[in-house]
Amino acid sequence: MNERVGVVALVAVVVLAAVGIGVLFSVETGAESPEPAAFDDTVTVGLTLEEQYELLDRPNVSLPRVQTFYSQYEYVVGYWGVDTYLATQRQAGHQARFGYPLATYVTDYGGTGVELSEEGYPVVERDPAWIPADAAWYVVDSEARTPGGETILSFDDRADAERFTDSAGGTVESWAQLTDRQFERGDADAARERVSRQAAAANETVADAAAHDDRPVSVVVGEDAATIQSAIEQAPPNTTVRIPAGTYDETLTIDRPITLAGDGAVTIRGDGNGSVVTITAPEVGVRNVHVTGTGTRAHGAESVPGDEGDHPDDRSLTYYGGADAGISAHVADGTSIVNVSIETRANGVILRESPDAVVKNVTVTEAPDAEDPYAGLLAFYSPAVVEHSTFVGGRDTIYLDESDGLVLRDSEIRDSVLGLHLMHTNDALLADNQVRNVTEAAIYVMTGPTGTAVVGNDVTDAGVGISVGGTQSYVARNTVTDSDLGLRILAEGSLYERNVLAGNEVGAHAGAVLPTNRVTANDFVANDRHATAGHGPLRVWADDGDGNFWQGATSPADGTPPGRAYSPTDPVDRRLHTTPGAATLARAPALDALAGLERSVSGMRSGSITDPAPSCTPNNPDLLARTAWADEAVACDGATVPEP
């Protein structure tokens, strides 16, 4: 007991000393500004990873840049574009997370010989220097562009700026004039608002594909043609080839817009080499068949079938897209695969450069003699709709690459290394899927995409439940249970709301270096640790006064709403739901005062998370009630989540 008293006394001394200082992270009047950093050493904002890759092939292109030193953030932040910088400063909560700018520099295009490329990108003869932002002159509304759209060029000398307008148009403004303008920057709200529209558009795509069911029968296998392949070759466009019940030992190529429809129990059995069905024409439908007998080349192809398309040098597309599958579609817009089962030794379905494809009521499983199957579905440059389907086994059960806008919904994914693996794909909608028994990541969004929406998914028994990178992502109403890590937060400028993370070793991990995410109205229940954080600043997990529910974080003594902040990374707070007596220590006046001071200053505790407004009751009782952990979600008043 004496030892505890001593610790509390020491804490009190630290609190008094900290309060007495009163100048943490401030800069003395007249202090020298820090020197500009190398832009490659900053934490950057404003371009996607794909856009940055594009610039690697354009060494003479030099886009406008800004770098800022903040009072409460340990890294220098680099902004691609003056407009990006100004829009970011006005975002809610920005100053609370970063503090105020200590110094801001912009690029000086004066003396660089700047001209505009055909796309409008600034091309220079030498790299621009850095100059203070408030001393520069800015050309607005010119023909200058970046991959993100219109941009603003900055000059140290007004005369240089005016000379640039002679050839590129625009007007010259001072820093004071520029900061009076309103600049908008996309955020995760756009992805949230897009969900319903994207779902409606997917419904239309599925409805359009249903027209493949209405084509008149032109050829019946066994009556009008001896084999399925000969029937395909006889069938006029926009007709149906009907296949009576039976097993057909064939490997097929469909090179015209027809529908291949089974009538009864139909099995198409390949010869064990290559894909069983290869589609090389638009508007092909495949219906009501079972496919087996694929080749064993799960990946590693050196060429792709048919037309090389617009991306012949894409190594990933050839390596994976040319592999063996039950059904492969190559440059085949509007393909529809419905009510089909595939037993594969390699891959289930491959879509290559086949937009507006529909995969519906499809089941892909491993063949009994499969040695190293890769994926149930591979999609490359193919924004498709995949729904009501089941994919079992493989390494990456579903692998998506360069398929912007793809919709995957109402499907089951299980028993693999990676469940859903998304690469270089923007604006995808991943909704209402079930993912089970995945050894690594159940839903893994990589390579810096924008606008990913991960909504309503149910994940159980994974190494990592949901891992989302990129920017402007929307992650909402998902449940992740019984996993090593429920939610890995790698995206920036994103919204994580109304998720349930229960019964995991770690509920969530904050890995993004920039503290620009909104994390609100989530429920953390029965996790060994509710949340952890990587190196970086203090992350504030609340939005507009709305925090999260943390089992054990609040009690009736905290009031309704609770008046005490909660930090899942705090040595004491993190044990509130697991260790008897921790609540008493956490609410000791001295310790509580120190914690309050630390949580109020964004840069004071590196690698930490705080919720200034924890919820007294679960935010998502309907989702929580579907899990095995609802009984442990005790509210401030002692009530538990009611049964549904």
For the stretch 332-356, pLDDT in tens is 999 999 999 999 999 999 999 999 9
Q: Please determine, for residue 136, whether its predicted confidence score (pLDDT) is greater than 70.
A: yes
Q: In this predicted model, which residue has the larger pLDDT, 468 or 87?
A: 468
Q: Are 454 and 474 in contact (CB under 8 A)?
A: yes
**Under 8 Å CB-to-CB from 530, ≥6 apart: which residues?**
501, 506, 507, 508, 524, 550, 551, 568, 574, 577
Q: What is the pLDDT of residue 585?
A: 54
- Give me the residue label for tokens 């005016």: 162
Give me the residues paired with residue 107 across strands.
Answer: 130
For the stretch 137-147, pLDDT in tens is 999 999 999 98
Q: What is the pLDDT of residue 97?
A: 77
Q: What is the pLDDT of residue 148?
A: 80
Reading the block at residue 501, the tokens are 């993370």
Q: Please determine, for residue 79, whether its predicted confidence score (pLDDT) is greater than 50.
A: yes
Q: What is the pLDDT of residue 589?
A: 62
Q: Please determine, for residue 526, whether its predicted confidence score (pLDDT) is greater than 90.
A: yes
Q: What is the pLDDT of residue 623?
A: 96
Q: What is the pLDDT of residue 353?
A: 94
Q: Please determine, for residue 210, whether its predicted confidence score (pLDDT) is greater than 60.
A: yes
Q: Are 458 and 434 in contact (CB under 8 A)?
A: yes
Strands (DSSP E) found in 446-544: 453-455, 458-468, 474-476, 479-481, 485-489, 495-497, 500-502, 506-510, 518-520, 523-525, 529-533, 539-540
For the stretch 220-247, pLDDT in tens is 999 999 999 999 999 999 999 999 999 9
The Cα–Cα gap between 553 and 532 comes to 15
pLDDT bracket for residue 308 (50, 70, 90): low
Q: Please determine, for residue 642, whether its predicted confidence score (pLDDT) is greater than 80.
A: no
Q: In this predicted model, which residue has the larger pLDDT, 306 or 33?
A: 33
Pick from 373, 334, 326: which is nearest to 353 by CA? Answer: 334
Percentage of the chain surpassing pLDDT 90? 66
The Cα–Cα gap between 304 and 302 comes to 7
- Give me the residue label for tokens 């990913």: 452
Residue ranges of the chain assigned to CATH 2.160.20.10: 216-394
Q: In this predicted model, which residue has the larger pLDDT, 605 or 115?
A: 115
CB burial readout 492-521, b (16+ within 10 A) else e: bbbbbbbbbbbbbebbbbbbbbbbbbbbbb
Q: Are 557 and 589 in contact (CB under 8 A)?
A: no
CATH (residue range 216-394): 2.160.20.10
Element (H, E) at 419: strand 418-423
Average pLDDT over residues 104-110: 97
The Cα–Cα gap between 397 and 436 comes to 11
Average pLDDT over residues 78-93: 86
CB burial readout 406-434, b (16+ within 10 A) else e: bbbbebbbbbbebbbbbbbbbbbbbbbbb
**Under 8 Å CB-to-CB from 469, ≥6 apart: which residues?**
445, 446, 447, 448, 449, 490, 491
Q: What is the pLDDT of residue 540?
A: 87
Q: What is the pLDDT of residue 593?
A: 59
The Cα–Cα gap between 141 and 120 comes to 12
For the stretch 488-516, pLDDT in tens is 999 888 999 999 999 999 999 999 888 88
The Cα–Cα gap between 286 and 169 comes to 55
Q: What's the alpha-carbon Rg for the chain, to the nearest Å? A: 29
Q: Please determine, for residue 600, whether its predicted confidence score (pLDDT) is greater than 80.
A: no
Q: What is the pLDDT of residue 13?
A: 32
Q: What is the pLDDT of residue 309?
A: 55
The whole model's pTM is what?
0.86
pLDDT bracket for residue 559 (50, 70, 90): low
